[in-house]
Each structure stands twice: as structure tokens, then as C-alpha cells.
Amino acid sequence: MDGDNPLQGPELDDRQWALLLSVYENREALISGNEELGERRLQVLLTVVGAAGVAVGLVADQVSDDALLPIAAAVSGLVTVLGFLTCMRVAQRDTATSWYKADLVRLRRYVAGTNRRLLEVLPHMKNENAPQLRHRPWYPSRGGLVELVGVLTAIFGGVAAFCGVHAWWGSVAASLAVGVVAVIGLWVLQIWAVRGIYRREGCLTPIERPTETFRANVGIVVRNATGHVLVLERSDHLGSWQFPQGGIERGEPRLDAAHRELHEETGLGRDDVTLVRELGRWLAYELPEKYRSEKSGLGQVQWWFLFEHADGAPPPDVSRALAGEFVAADWVSFDEAVLRAVGFKKPVYEQLRVEFG
């Protein structure tokens, strides 16, 4: 992972830059095409609605009022079915558009890193650093294409219900009541169906956007009597070894945070270690973008402690540790600890080797 630092800009050759640019342009074209496709589907629905209205109007002069109501109910019912299918297709299109937008945002972040001014001048999605996908509530006032088709579908469903009930019972009050229930029912049904599509495609949550800050952290080097230091193997990235570390809680003294994290990650208590020294300054490392999150931010800024493993103290036991973040512990030389560290942590570990080694 050496050099995997988006703040320094990607090192790409001409062919790689051409590939990145072609992917960017492809996603822009797909977004535009998806938007046009959704609008064409709406145009088809409106065309069918207009044709159906003309057909019912032509038939109205040739049949009795009693016969016209069932015809109107049947035509409105067919339009309702078409509207429901159109709504589902437009919702499916929305999910694809959301992920295309996410691709563009990731490409922009890769090229620009965290340089906001550079992000702003890159084309497309200029003011959307973290697209919100489709998590929004479904309100007709939002004015989206899905909502518009949904409103039309619910209205025509209500018309179909009104005409059908009126033809059967002849009661205007009952017909209106059933029509209103049909409108509300179809609206709720479409909400449920559309959200099912969004949920299936993973579009009900916004794209996670890392904060633009570093997380305050403590780091702990534990040395034994032979001069070896304690490293832990992560459970989520087997083969990745590190020193114990963890966040500082609000208002918590740094030394208390170090003892707490050491106990949570290794099972070693205050009586099992002796403080040798503090580094006395903060060290920071930046996380590769794929590892960033709201919790971690851009990376960690750490205050480091050196502890001595006390004589007669129990060995570290990650299987009994509270955190459950690690699967193995090992005592190694400081040189070996640096070799086992992931690339973006090596500069920090090399400084620790100089200070603590």
C-alpha cells in the first residue's frame, strides 16, 4: 500500500489516464442517457393517456351512459397498470443513475483528493460531493420523475375504481369513497414497491462521506524484557499487523485512553505494564480513501506511549480481549514490526523505531 495516498495525487501513465478519462465520460453519458430514457417513458405514458381519452370521447357519442362507465373503468384500469409498470421501470433507472453518480464522485475524489477548489472545477456533480442516492421519503411535492408517474398512476386508479363502482351500484357517494381509497392505496403500494427496489439495489443510504479531519488517537508500544515489541494481527485484514491503538474519548486523559485501549485489545491491565515514556508529540498518518469513513476521517493523529511488560504479568490474550479486533499477538523485533506494518503506517512506525527502538 506504499504510495496509496490520494492527497498526493495519483501516479498514472498516459494509458491509465486515458482509461480513467474514458470511464468518467462513459458515466456522464450513461447518466444523461438514463435521464432521457426516463423522460421518454413518461412521454409514452402521457401519449397513451391522451389516446385513451380521445378513444373514450369518440365512443361516448355512440353508447349510452350506462355502457360508457364500464368502458371508462376498463380503459382507466389499463392505463393504471401501464403507469405502475412505468413507475417501477423509472425507479429502476433511478438506482442505476445513483450508482453512476457515485462512480463520478469517486473518480473526482481520486483525481483531486481533498482539494475542494479542484473538486469544484471538475465537470459534473460540482456541488454534490456525497450523492444522497434514494434515501429520501416519497413525497409528491419532491417533484421527481418517479413521484410524478406515481401520482398519475394513483389518479387513474381512482378514476377506474370510481367508474367501476358507479357502473355497478349507481351511488356517487360510494363511488367517490372507493375512488379515494383506491388513490391512497395505489400511492402506498407504489411507495412500498419503489422502496423495495431501492432497498434491493442498496440505494436507501447515502454514500458514506469521510470527514475532512483527523481522528485523535493513542498508540501503544509494549516492550518485553528481551527488547521485543508487541504487534497484533487484525481480524478484518488477516496478515495486517499493528501496534495497539484507539480513539480518545471526549474529555479522557491520553494516558487513561492508552490503558483502556490496551486492556480492550490485549487484556493487559494497568498492573501488567509500566509506563516508560511518552513520545511527546503527535504523529499522523493518512488513510487511503477506500479505508476512510465518518469515524476515521482522513486518518489518525496519534499520541504514542512506550510501556514495559511487567515481570510475572500474564501474556497478552486477544481471544479474551473486549474489542475482538485481533486474532493473534506476537513479540517481534522493532525492525520486524516495521516490516509487518501496512504501507501507510510505515513512516510512523519508522519514527517510533528511532524514538523507542
Give domain status of residue 297, yes or no: yes
Q: Does one domain contain both 35 and 180?
A: yes
Q: Does one domain contain both 96 and 227?
A: no
| Identity of residue 211 | T
Residues 6+ apart with CB under 8 A from 339: none
Q: Does one domain contain both 235 and 170?
A: no
Give domain status of residue 235, yes or no: yes
User: Would the pTM of this model clear 0.85, i.e. be above it?
Assistant: no
CATH classification of the domain holding 282: 3.90.79.10
* Unique residue bearing C-alpha cell 355497478: 168
Give domain status of residue 17, yes or no: yes
Of the candidates 141, 174, 200, which is a domain's last residue? 200
Give domain status of residue 103, yes or no: yes
Q: Does one domain contain both 49 and 174?
A: yes
> What is the mean pLDDT of each successive set of 10 residues along the chain, which is 357 residues long?
38 78 84 84 88 82 77 90 90 81 74 62 51 44 71 90 86 89 91 83 61 84 95 89 92 94 93 95 87 77 96 89 85 95 93 91
Q: Does one domain contain both 236 and 177?
A: no
Domain that holds residue 35: 6-200
| Sequential DSSP letters for 33-59 | HHHHHHHHHHHHHHHHHHHHHHHHHHH
Q: Does one domain contain both 169 and 54?
A: yes
Q: Does one domain contain both 191 and 234?
A: no
Q: Does one domain contain both 41 and 187?
A: yes
Q: Does one domain contain both 279 and 256?
A: yes
Give domain status of residue 182, yes or no: yes
The pLDDT, as a whole number, for residue 123 is 59
User: What one-character DSSP code corresponds to residue 298?
Assistant: T
Number of structural domains in the chain: 2
Give domain status of residue 207, yes or no: no
Q: Does one domain contain both 248 and 140?
A: no
